[in-house]
Structure 1
Amino acid sequence: MEERLLGSEAKDDSNLKGRIWAESKKLWRIALPAMLARVSQYGMFVVTQGFIGHIGEVQLAAYALIQIIAVRFANGILLGMSSATETLCGQAFGAKQYHMMGIYLQRSWIINIAIGTVLLPIFIFAGDIFKLLGEESDIASEAGYISLWFIPILYFFIFCLTIQKYLQAQLKNIIVGWLSAVAFVIHVLLSWIFVNVLNFGIPGAMSAMIIASWFIVIGEFVYLFGGWCPNTWNGFSLAAFVDLLPVLKLSISSGVMLCLELWYNAILVLVAGYMKNATSEISAFSICLNIISWEFMLCFGFLAGSSVRISNELGKGDAKTAKFSVKVAISTTARVAVGAGRQTVVAYVNICCYYFIGIPVGIILAYVANMKVKGIWIGMLLGVVTQVLVLGYITYKTDWDQQVNEASARLNKWLLKPSDESNGS
């Protein structure tokens, strides 16, 4: 009897190990290319900052203001809006509603192009905005000039982010990883030629970034339109204009969630700009932020993998496997709310942890305790730690059967039959 029990326990243990291994392989199949893409794409901003640092101190501080504040402001909105595509496409792929994925992608283009165009004045009038916010005049003027070069990058975000999430939802994001890696090499080479060899200055550094960035987008378009996604891309369709309002609502909640996270660092850089020797303080703080954010891209890539796995299983209606995916993901790292479509909850957590704890503590330590940039940094870390603890508790208490029901209701509500889609083409 005891031998049979021991044999059963050993079998269960072996089965659990097999399940964990199988789930880990599915997770890393998505996460590794996502990590490569994130690290490569964000690396272009870091490399550009390095080359601009050789041009001049004012230029470096101005670039930091634009990249950390204006670009993160826009990227936070567009990345958040695009995470709705991640949720919907991931759940549609799990539910085998493949034809809907192309429609969701087109809807995200419509919404994000409109949002991106609304954001244009921020880049056009960035110099005046920074002057109104009290930043030093020479830094603000230079930032206004550099911001105009970021307009093509704004539209790069619109297409690159959405296509990337569409592809990773169907386990095809390896192409994005390779395109991003090649683009990073191109970017470094062009930056060296334009800045160090030809002495083109700011235009040279920014041109290198624009060319490398749009190399990724063009490559994604070739892959998409070239027939490598036959089940999920059936061409442009008028069906993309149907149900835009509910998709916009989900996109806005996603946008608020990630905006609050990315704007957190941006506000801290703005605070650093009010200190004495603002040029040095902004540059130093932004360099530290960029380096730690570059490392954070590894976590962001893993987040993409866990998000897709969870949304796929919710789309299938398999609550047990979704919960198991959460456990495997958390055993490796933390976060999973995007895949479940719980962006609104995370938005409230971000507000409380970042804006009611992190920023006030950082300001008090920086200006009252006279710890300067070190104080801001401590406040930032405190906000992040609090957020992780709260989200960990929320994930632990999640009812995954309820999440399956909500995902099924959402997919069925927005489902168009293939015949309906073709009629709208």
Structure 2
Amino acid sequence: MENDEHPLLSTMADDHNTIFGYEDDARPSTKIQGFLREFFIESKKLWYMAGAAIFTSVCQYSLGAITQIFAGNIGTSQLAAISIENNIVAGFACGILVGMGSGLETLCGIAFGANQLEMLGIYLQRSWIILNTTALMLMFVYVFATPILKLVGQTDEISEDAGTFALWMIPQLFAYAMNYPLAKFLQAQNKFMVLGVISAMVLALHAFFSWLLIAKLGWGMLGAAVVLNSSWWLIVLAQLLYILHGACGRAWTGFSWMAFQNLWGFLKLSVASGVMLALEVWYADSLTLLAGYLKNAEISVDASTICANILGLTTMVGFGFNAATSVRISNELGAIHPREAKISTVVVGITSLLTGLTLALILIITGKAYPSLFSNDTDVQELVYELTPLLGLCIVVYNLQLSLAGVAIGAGWQAYVAYVNFGCYYLFGIPLALLLGFKFNMGIQGIWWGVLSGSFLEGFVLLWIIYRTNWNYEASMAGDRLKQWGGETEESGV
């Protein structure tokens, strides 16, 4: 990330050792005033985008959470089956597709900052081609979900029910492949509010039809599948109608054969992005998977799933900061504004940390009340309450970590961070979780402690990488990244 020999650096002031551009010999009062002024300005920009992105993330995450709430009132077995499908099968596919979609986030953000708007639609279509092809391959995971779950040690009853539910959820898989590129395409143009409005409308419909089909008409898991599939495809269709109606100007000029050109460079970035975020998503999902190996697996899975749902809901704040930060960083680097990119990084780090602490405090205060919203089983409720302090720590760490990952996406560091994720999560976090949970008989709490430790280590490494970054160099390389990953065209001059 650091390279002081790049030719453009001789004409750009290196702000690595200054505070938001104020020299080290400036008076302390000047530094503080400058910091507060810059912090306030950047916070307004960040919250304008992050607020809508958080709202969108919460709405979309709530689709699955609402379904699981209704399923929990049907029975423990149905809740476990739907939870396993959502967190393991769909989580596996979602991790790959969300990650691969973040490659589009980098390119569209840089192109938008560089005012190369006509390339955004081309990038969108390339991402559709790659993600839908990937979804075709991932479909086999859904088809063979039952034997896969049995192979990894889930009980026969849960595996059979989850496998059946996975078959019914194949349409959702392709909705993911269409939705994530659409969302990144719109976010790069700062159209966060549009995504929020669409998600809110769909969520309201989803809640009503979940109650109607699952609770009122008694369709059970079939009703859950019908409502989830329909809701995700409704989001896709609404976004498509908005774009095709002409609301994006030069960013969308219609379907083009150029989408099939230069796919290799785009694919490499998409794969690197997919690995980076997939490792992130799968790691969180490991909490539910590992809980399935404990004694009283049903209670452990249900309790861990409830906590994972709460963690997932609160880290939607982190995903909102992630989306907003990646857009801010990529836009500023594309416009060759390294100082602004650095400011944005500092502001999102501080803001996400304070936000995570606030959410954790609220959760701990209400720790006795919320478990009953998800399950009628008193044993499950008690175990959830015992996990609440750990859950609060996870909320703080995950929100900061996701915000820092947004910096990495905006700067195009996906391949590098993928190695960091693998080392911190799978060479350290998972082995520690297994050791504490099974060897030292700490049960579900040991598993959560191990996973949290891996996340803490990953956050520390990301902080060190960002601290060592030379933003002048990163800005000077933005155009080269468009050529390397997005492909050159005579029309755009990319």
Q: TM-score, normalised by structure 1?
A: 0.93
Query: Structure 1 vs Structure 2: percent identity of aligned residues?
Result: 42
Deviation at 1:209, TM superposition (A): 1.6
Residue 355 of structure 1 aligns with which residue? 426
> Do structure 1's residue 367 and structure 2's residue 386 form an aligned pair?
no
CA distance in 2, matches of 1:173, 1:21: 20
Residue 477 of structure 2 aligns with which residue? 406
In 2 relative to 1, CA 258–50 (structure 1 residues): closer, same or farther, beyond 3 Å? same
Q: Is the 8 A contact 2:80 2:298 kept in 1?
A: yes
Q: Superposed, which structure 2 residues align to 1:222-237 within 5 Å?
A: 222-237=241-256
Q: Superposed, which structure 2 residues align to 1:254-273 within 5 Å?
A: 254-273=273-292
Q: Superposed, which structure 2 residues align to 1:113-124 within 5 Å?
A: 113-124=132-143
Match of 2:451 among 380, 388, 401: 380
Q: Superposed, which structure 2 residues align to 1:163-312 within 5 Å?
A: 163-312=182-331
1:320-375 deviations in Å (ceiling 9; x for gaps): 22112212222212401110000112111111111122111111111111111111
1:176-199 deviations in Å (ceiling 9; x for gaps): 111111111111111111111111
Question: Which amino acid in the other structure matches residue 279 of structure 2?
Answer: L
Deviation at 1:15, TM superposition (A): 5.4
1:67-111 deviations in Å (ceiling 9; x for gaps): 111111100100000000100000000000000111110000000
CA distance in 2, matches of 1:135, 1:412: 46
CA distance in 2, matches of 1:12, 1:368: 52
CA distance in 1, matches of 2:90, 2:345: 32
1:250-304 deviations in Å (ceiling 9; x for gaps): 1111111111111112233222212222222211111111111110011111111
Question: Which amino acid in the other structure matches residue 279 of structure 1?
Answer: E
The two structures, once aligned, show a CA RMSD in angstroms of 1.9
Question: Which amino acid in the other structure matches residue 469 of structure 2?
Answer: T
Q: Say which SS state the counterpart of residue 129 (structure 1) adopts.
A: helix
Deviates further, 395-404 or 326-335: 326-335
Question: Which amino acid in the other structure matches residue 467 of structure 2?
Answer: Y
In 2 relative to 1, CA 275–222 (structure 1 residues): closer, same or farther, beyond 3 Å? same
Match of 2:154 among 117, 135, 156: 135
Structure 2 portions without partners, runs of 5+: 1-25, 353-399
CA distance in 2, matches of 1:137, 1:8: 69
Aligned length: 415
Q: Superposed, which structure 2 residues align to 1:71-150 within 5 Å?
A: 71-150=90-169
Residue 3 of structure 1 aligns with which residue? none
Deviation at 1:395, TM superposition (A): 0.6
Structure 1 portions without partners, runs of 5+: 1-6
CA distance in 2, matches of 1:117, 1:158: 10
Deviates further, 351-360 or 73-82: 351-360
CA distance in 2, matches of 1:21, 1:281: 44
Q: Is the 8 A contact 2:272 2:418 kept in 1?
A: yes
CA distance in 1, matches of 2:197, 2:148: 38
Q: TM-score, normalised by structure 2?
A: 0.81
Q: Is the 8 A contact 1:268 1:359 kept in 2?
A: no
> Do structure 1's residue 396 and structure 2's residue 467 form an aligned pair?
yes
CA distance in 2, matches of 1:199, 1:40: 25
Q: Say which SS state the counterpart of residue 96 (structure 1) adopts.
A: coil
Residue 326 of structure 1 aligns with which residue? 345
Deviates further, 194-203 or 264-273: 264-273
Question: Which amino acid in the other structure matches residue 421 of structure 2?
Answer: N
> Do structure 1's residue 337 and structure 2's residue 356 form an aligned pair?
no
Residue 416 of structure 1 aligns with which residue? 489
